[in-house]
Amino acid sequence: MLKTETPSTQHAQLDLYPVEALVDALVEDQAQAVAAVKAASASICAAVEAMAPRIAAGGRLIYAGAGTSGRLGVLDSVELYPTFSWPRERAKALLAGGLGAMFEAVEGAEDDLNKGAADLRLLYPTYNDVLLLVAASGTTPYVLGAMQAARTVGAFTVGIANNARTPLLTGADVGILLDTGAEVISGSTRLKAGTAQKIVLNTLSSALMVRLHKVYGNLMVDLQATNAKLVERAVRLTVHATGADAAAARAALEQCQYQVKLAMLMLLKKQTAAEAQAQLDATHGNVRAALTKKES
């Protein structure tokens, strides 16, 4: 039996617990998700190292999963644009049952291997694309179908599963085992198995964006200021990165559509928005390199 399906021996009388003990049991069990991710650090590093050159060469991040795992992939994909200005067309998510399954479970959709392959083929995968394939069991047919279709074109595959020696982990280019064990509510992989998957997806995509120069120091300098909260965040980031006062930061941002990287160059190098854009283009979006680049 898969570990994630094995009944837990720790809380066999969970339904009899008083609420304080019930909450403690559920919270304490989640801590094992962090331990499982830490144990997988070497595999996560290997995935990031292999992903970065393909994505830098124009590849896409494509997520595939079913149920909770698939929904976590959708969540990670849609957050890359506002957080890192990552083009929406370069972050795609496949969810068994279609996007309607984000809001209502589509039972049985995960069992269709051919549909997983067909859905991926509709995206016309290429060699530089990276597939993040997520399935707690490691055996979900829909996800395995997507993996098989990806492998036929040489796309890079990362399998993320919570059970060892399963087809997803052994078939992917890099397998990331999140050994979270039995769930406190038996078989409910939306609990710590899902938590571990969320941590890994956050880590993979964030590490990738750092490698692609979307972060300066630890500042999120490539965000999209699409609402009032994010406009104010852009101002604060520019102030922090440059030492300018808020008025100067806001004035610079207003001249460059609230792009923090450009505002930084404008303020620190006394450049116009056009000059800053040219400097940033010359360094392929690397603001640190642009700041140290000598004027020609």
Task: Select which of 20, 79, 89, 254 is catalytic.
Answer: 79
Answer yes or no: 232 catalytic.
no
Nearest-angstrom CA–CA distance, 99 and 55: 24
Query: E strand or H helix at 131, and its extent?
Result: strand 130-134
Half-sphere exposure of 175 toward its Cβ, with a 13 Å CA cutoff?
19
- Single-letter residue type at 34: V
Task: Select which of 110, 232, 254, 295 is catalytic.
Answer: 110
Instruction: For residue 133, give both structure tokens.
Output: 């394939």
- H helices of the chain, in order, are 19-39, 41-56, 67-84, 113-121, 141-152, 167-171, 192-211, 228-242, 246-255, 260-268, 273-282, 287-292
Answer yes or no: 79 catalytic.
yes
Nearest-angstrom CA–CA distance, 141 and 97: 13
Nearest-angstrom CA–CA distance, 120 and 143: 10
Active site residues per annotation: 79, 110
